[in-house]
Amino acid sequence: MSAKPCPLDIQNFSAGYGNGELVVRDASFRLRAGAMTALVGPNGAGKSTLLKGALGLLTHADTACVRFFGRPLEEVRARVAYLPQRAEIDWTFPASALDVAAMGLYRKIGFFHRVTGRWKAEARKALALVGMESLENMPIGELSGGQQQRVLLARSLAQGADLLMLDEPFVNVDFATEERLGAVLREACQRGMSVFAVHHDLGDVRRYFDEAVLFDGTVVAHGAIDVALADANLHEAFRLGPPPEEAIP
Amino acid sequence: MTISLAVDVPALIALLCALVACGTLGNFLVLRKEAMTGDAIAHSVLPGLVAGFLVTGTRSISAMFIGAACAGIASILLSGWARRATRLEPGAPLGIVFTGLFALGVVLLETQGARQVDLDPECVLFGSLETLFYVPVLDAPWYTGVPRAIWTLGAAAALALMFALLFLKELSLLAFDPSAARHLGVAPRWLERAFLVIVSASIVASFEAVGSVLVIGILACPALLAAPHAKSVKGQIIISLAAGALLSVLGYSIAALAPQLFGTPTALNSAGMIAVVLAIAVPLSHALRRRA
């Protein structure tokens, strides 16, 4: 039996914006298939830039250093889903929960074809997987923050993605919603999906994730949570100086 | 008020074609929070008009159209480049580029011996709806008397409507979640460019008949007044075009009737009055939604 291919393999990857300044420098890590991995680091460390750069959404990113499932993104685009930060989406948009879930199918539907009943049935199935089937006709603007995130997750499931890349999925949702979202992501992993999410709250990384990439413009540490987020690594990433026991001569 | 086949019907047809051409795609501009793009293109066409005259030495419609379309596209490409290069918020590069191009147009007009181009400011601002007459030609088919502007606007309206229908889901996703649209490959760069080129063509085609004020008005106002009531993108387009058509006819009628009611001999400019009616309708529509 062959091992599952690595969902995301980044080697010596750099990315930045038009002004020439590199926000991500020489980053290297490999995600474990079927795991929930958190991308953790201080504000402004370039976590979102890393995600967007790897997905080819920035003009200044060396995407040749990035492999998804052992291949360039172009060959496996449908297997990779991306959920941006909430602020990047227009939640006043005139669309229902079902319309948004069906957006994940647009690539399969292709140009010049309409979203017919068959595709709507598939979108409905995806909504059911995240427990949103009863709200399929609700305008997305009238859903709560957590419900909106679940609809976006349904869009990724409808897409048939094997790797889910999320940018701060737990921001601006209450504790109960966070728990629900975490459970939905865990179920997705149990179905064979891998999850890679930017996460800002160090306090609850262990609650939801199996592994972590500690990031500060480049990879400071990567591995199981206890290893990656060891005190010495956190002090280095958050520039807090050496941990107390090392500071005392 | 009696409707004249020779005067009112051509003006109303031109008006409705301009509404379909600009208003359909204006929905996507509004959904993308880029309503200013229409304003920018409408201002940027001036150097194109002057350049068209300078290169050909005539005011022929094809020279003007090509010049204006090139300037419109240049403004979009330049502002896109400025946005990527500077990381400014989306409206800022557009503001820089369109004021720059408009100023270039004025400089060209003043310095290159093009003042005799006769770019009447009133015509540029308010168009020429009142001069679109249907003049039947004896012993010739009926369509020979149809003003040229109507054919141009009809083609622009058909192109805009067809483009919106063919790429409805792709343009919708691009407006809702541009990162996902690009990542999924459903909104390739050519589609975004084609969209802006057709927006430019619609603006340029409408410019002569309805003027820059109403072009900006029909790009943004119908979509803005439909937005609070729509539950889908298709629904928003239908509401915007239906409401835009009703309000345009209302504005046209007010322009025709108001002078008679008040006993003044001067006529009101139709395009200007329609723009006023549309502008008033937007806040009323939002207030209506809040009350419901």
Across residues B143-170, what is the average pLDDT?
91
Could you tell me the residue range of the domain that residue A218 belongs to? Answer: 9-87+161-247
Phi, psi of B244 (to 5 degrees): -60, -40
CA distances from B56 to A13, B47, B149, B152, B186 (A): 52, 14, 21, 20, 41
The tally of domains found in chain A comes to: 1
Cα separation, B239 vs B197, in Å, equals: 24
Q: Is B240 on the interface with A (CB under 8 A)?
A: no
The per-residue pLDDT for B3 is 67
Residue A150's contacts (CB-CB under 8 Å, 6 or more residues apart) are: A130, A131, A132, A180, A181, A184
Per-residue pLDDT of chain A (249 residues; tens, 9 = 90+): 456 789 999 999 999 876 677 899 999 999 999 999 999 999 888 999 999 999 998 878 888 899 999 999 999 998 999 999 888 888 999 999 999 999 999 999 999 899 999 999 999 999 998 889 999 999 999 998 889 988 998 998 899 899 999 999 888 777 888 888 889 899 889 988 999 999 988 888 999 999 999 999 999 999 999 999 998 989 888 877 666 665 454
A224 occurs within a structural domain:
yes
Residues of A in Cβ contact (< 8 Å) with B231:
94, 96, 139
Residues contacting B262, CB < 8 A, separation 6+? none
Contact in structure between B51 and B104 (CB atoms under 8 Å):
no
Per-residue model confidence (pLDDT) at position A154 = 92
Residue with the larger pLDDT of the pair B71 and A115: A115
Whether residues B87 and A115 touch (CB distance < 8 A) is answered with: no
| Proportion of chain B above pLDDT 90, given as a percent | 35
The answer to whether B290 faces chain A, any CB pair under 8 Å, is: no
Q: Would you put residue A25 in left (φ > 0), alpha (ψ -120 to 50) or beta?
A: beta
Mean pLDDT confidence for B142-150: 82
Q: Establish if B183 touches chain A: CB-CB under 8 angstroms.
A: yes
Rounded Cα distance, A215 and A236, in Å:
10
A61 in reach of chain B (CB within 8 A) = no
Nearest to B184 among A84, A107, A112 (CB): A107
- Contact B180/A84, CB-based, under 8 Å? yes
Kindly identify which residue of chain B lies nearest to residue A103, measuring between CA atoms. Answer: B173
Average pLDDT, chain B: 85
User: Which helix (H) or strand (E) segment is A222 a member of?
Assistant: strand A219-224
Q: Return the domain boundaries, chain B.
A: 8-287
Chain B interface includes A52 (CB < 8 A): yes
Phi, psi values for residue A74, rounded to 5°: -55, -30
Q: What is the pLDDT of residues B1-25, one digit of tens each?
A: 566 766 788 899 999 999 999 999 9
Interface of A with B in 115-174 (CB under 8 A): 115, 139, 155, 159
The residues that bridge with A80 in the sheet, in sequence order, are A163
Half-sphere exposure of B247 (CA within 13 A, CB side): 30
- Tell me if chain A has a CB within 8 Å of the CB of B289: no
Q: What is the β-pairing status of strands A36-40 and A211-215?
A: parallel
Chain B residues near residue A100 by CB distance under 8 angstroms? 176
* CB contact set of A198 (below 8 Å; sequence gap of 6+): A38, A39, A47, A48, A51, A166, A167, A168
Q: What integer pLDDT is reported at residue A52 of this predicted model?
A: 93
B31-69 pLDDT, tens digit per residue, is 988 888 777 887 788 888 888 888 887 767 678 778 887
Q: What is the reported pLDDT for B118?
A: 57
With respect to residue A151, please indicate whether it lies within any of the assigned structural domains: no
| Nearest-CA distance B186 → chain A (Å) | 6
Q: What is the predicted pLDDT for the residue at A36?
A: 95
Among B33, B183, B233, beta carbon nearest to A94: B233
Tell me the average pLDDT across B154-167. Answer: 96
DSSP A102-170: HHTTHHHH-TT----HHHHHHHHHHHHHTT-GGGTTSBGGGS-HHHHHHHHHHHHHHHT-SEEEEESTT
Residues in chain B closer than 8 A to A99 (CB atoms): 232
Helix (H) or strand (E) holding A202: none
Between A106 and B77, the more confident residue is A106
How far B182 CA sits from the closest chain A CA (Å)? Answer: 7
What does pTM read for this prediction?
Answer: 0.84
- State both tokens at B76: 């979009």
One-letter identity of residue A67:
R
Contact present, B176 and B170 (Cβ < 8 Å): no
Position B131 pLDDT exceeds 90: no
Q: Tell which residue, B105, B112, B129, B106, has the closest CA to residue B207.
A: B129
Q: Does B233 touch chain A (CB under 8 A)?
A: yes
Sequence letter at residue B225? L
Best probe of the A interface among B27, B32, B162, B169, by most A CBs < 10 A, is B169
Q: What is the pLDDT of residue A1?
A: 47
Output the CATH code of domain B8-287. Answer: 1.10.3470.10
Q: What is the mean pLDDT of residues B89-106?
A: 82
User: What's the CATH code of the domain at A62?
Assistant: 3.40.50.300
Q: How far apart are CA B84 and CA A111, in angstroms?
A: 28
For A94, the closest of B177, B183, B232 (CB atoms) is: B232
Q: Do residues A106 and A160 lie in contact, with contact meaning Cβ atoms separated by under 8 Å?
A: no
Residue A136 inside a domain? The answer is no
pLDDT digits (tens, 9 = 90+) for B217-261: 999 999 999 999 999 999 999 999 999 999 999 999 999 888 888
